[in-house]
């Protein structure tokens, strides 16, 4: 029996409340002997660690660096090696684009096409208002055609989401994106027989876009990547009998949460907005995913000091969560983003779980290396959800 089947059988709805506070990209590597988290002053996290059960968790497999999608899936109790999601679908869901079964979606960029080459893949990062105007221009032409129904949804600057709606679309397509400036446009290619119709639809559309935008000086071509159809994945209400909410302010995380059946709130852009929303909706849910992004962004920038500051900011919000008295409070990350590596890494996540039912260990500070000595040991992130549900009294006894 696999975990999902077991979860469906054992999970029960109760009044206990869970907060999963994800400090994105939290884990790091030492500079002058200390990691970002070890360097940061984190009195609140340390205080919580002293009474929590601590451990470290591997998002996918030891040694494997995850993208944000698989790292979050794992933390939410879904095997990322079983449920593989295209970036396009996450982007679409995070952008409030309605996606139905059978739709094909992709992430898009407007680009500058000159003398047969893509001279700028980002069309000089045109203002968002320009992106909206150009999407509208294309949609105006396309709206006259009912099949395939193709719609563009403007994003920030040069970015958009494309949705293709007709029968028989599949998503084993290569990106229609040269990846580098100074190269010709490249069409999508089918990676299997089933995707040939999708390739024909997509490539005909991309040629059409060049015609529609022929008089545009800067944004006069479109690139598409991360083609994906709506995946079939059981929801958290279904699997775990939760009434879950996502408190996140970046599209991808919101998209993933919506896909998993979480209620996704509209949240302002500041970290404080997260905690305002958490407090405002506290009575409405029993599971709250709170996503703190700044730490990851600083790690990606390779900015050790900024990451230290972001961690200290994440620490300062912790008392606002504690004041709500959740029955289970977990603080961890989706994946590590060491500033020294300028990107995601394979290092395990520090993890702590505080609950009346949790066994305190002798970890008295929250860090990668202290948590590695915690009572939870080293475990796959996929085991986080059973741990959380178990400590919250939301899993029945298995067997008699």
Residues binding a copy of itself (CB under 8 A): 1-3, 6, 10, 29-30, 35, 56, 60-70, 80-82, 84-87, 90, 226, 341, 343-347, 357, 359-362, 368-369, 372-373, 375-379, 383, 385-391, 395-400
**Alpha carbon of residue 113 to chain centroid:** 31
Q: Which is nearer to a copy of itself, 212 or 392 (CB)?
A: 392
Q: Which is nearer to a copy of itself, 63 or 269 (CB)?
A: 63
String of b and e for 229-245 (b: at least 16 CB within 10 Å)? bbeebbebbebbbbebb
Measured from the CB of residue 344, what is the shortest distance to a copy of itself in angstroms?
A: 6
User: Any idea which residue has 């060049």 for tokens?
Assistant: 210
What is the C-alpha separation between 358 and 390, in angstroms, rounded? 10
Measured from the CB of residue 117, what is the shortest distance to a copy of itself in angstroms?
A: 26
Q: Which is nearer to a copy of itself, 271 or 386 (CB)?
A: 386
Q: Which is nearer to a copy of itself, 19 or 277 (CB)?
A: 19
Measured from the CB of residue 58, what is the shortest distance to a copy of itself in angstroms?
A: 9
Q: How many CB atoms lie within 10 A of CB 89?
A: 28
Q: What is the DSSP string of 16-59?
A: --EEEEEETB-----BTTB-HHHHS--HHHHHHHHHSEEEEEES
Q: Which is nearer to a copy of itself, 80 or 299 (CB)?
A: 80
CA dihedral (372, 392, 47, 72) in degrees, to 10, reads 50
Measured from the CB of residue 347, what is the shortest distance to a copy of itself in angstroms?
A: 6
Give the up-direction half-sphere exposure of residue 367: CA atoms within 13 A in the CB hemisphere.
Answer: 18
336 DSSP 8-state letter: B
Measured from the CB of residue 361, what is the shortest distance to a copy of itself in angstroms?
A: 6
Q: Which is nearer to a copy of itself, 234 or 343 (CB)?
A: 343
Contact (CB, 8 A) for 317 and 48: no
Measured from the CB of residue 372, what is the shortest distance to a copy of itself in angstroms?
A: 5
Measured from the CB of residue 46, what is the shortest distance to a copy of itself in angstroms?
A: 18
Q: What is the DSSP string of 142-203?
A: HTT--SSEEEEEE-STTEEEEEEESTT----B--B--SSTTB------BSSGGGHHHHHHHH
Q: Which is nearer to a copy of itself, 142 or 344 (CB)?
A: 344
User: Any idea which residue has 């295209």 for tokens?
Assistant: 86
């Amino acid at each position: 029996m696999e975990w999902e089947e077991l979860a469906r059988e054992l999970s029960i709805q109760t009044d206990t409340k869970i907060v999963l506070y994800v400090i994105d990209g939290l884990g790091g590597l030492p500079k002058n002997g200390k990691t970002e988290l070890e360097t940061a002053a984190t009195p609140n996290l340390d205080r919580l660690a002293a009474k929590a059960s601590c451990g470290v968790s591997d998002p996918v497999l030891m040694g494997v660096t995850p993208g944000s999608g698989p790292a979050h899936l794992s933390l939410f109790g879904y095997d990322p090696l079983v449920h593989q999601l295209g970036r396009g679908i996450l982007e679409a869901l995070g952008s409030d684009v309605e996606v139905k079964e059978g739709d094909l979606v992709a992430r898009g960029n407007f680009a500058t096409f000159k003398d047969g080459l893509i001279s700028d893949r980002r069309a000089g990062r045109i203002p968002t208002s320009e992106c909206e105007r150009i999407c509208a221009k294309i949609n105006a032409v396309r709206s006259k055609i009912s099949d395939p129904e193709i719609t563009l949804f403007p994003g920030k600057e040069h970015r958009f989401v494309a949705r293709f709606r007709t029968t028989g679309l599949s998503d084993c397509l290569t990106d229609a994106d040269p990846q580098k400036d100074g190269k010709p446009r490249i069409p999508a290619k089918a990676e299997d027989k089933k995707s040939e119709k999708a390739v024909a639809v997509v490539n005909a559309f991309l040629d059409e876009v060049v015609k529609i935008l022929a008089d545009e000086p800067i944004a006069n071509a479109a690139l598409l990547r991360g083609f994906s159809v709506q995946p079939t994945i059981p929801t958290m209400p279904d699997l775990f009998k939760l009434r879950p909410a996502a408190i996140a302010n970046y599209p991808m995380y919101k998209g993933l949460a919506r896909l998993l059946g979480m209620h996704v709130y509209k949240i302002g852009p500041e970290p404080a907005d997260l905690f305002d929303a958490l407090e405002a909706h506290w009575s409405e849910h029993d599971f709250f995913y709170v996503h703190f992004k700044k730490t990851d962004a600083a790690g990606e920038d390779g900015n050790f000091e900024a990451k230290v500051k972001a961690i200290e900011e994440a620490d300062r919000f912790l008392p606002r969560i504690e004041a709500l008295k959740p029955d289970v409070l977990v603080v961890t990350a989706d994946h590590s983003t060491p500033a020294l590596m300028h990107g995601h890494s394979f290092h395990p996540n520090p993890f702590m779980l505080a609950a009346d039912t949790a066994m305190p260990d002798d970890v008295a500070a929250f860090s990668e290396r202290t948590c590695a000595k915690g009572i939870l040991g080293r475990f796959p992130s996929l085991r986080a959800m059973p741990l959380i549900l178990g400590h919250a009294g939301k899993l029945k006894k298995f067997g008699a």
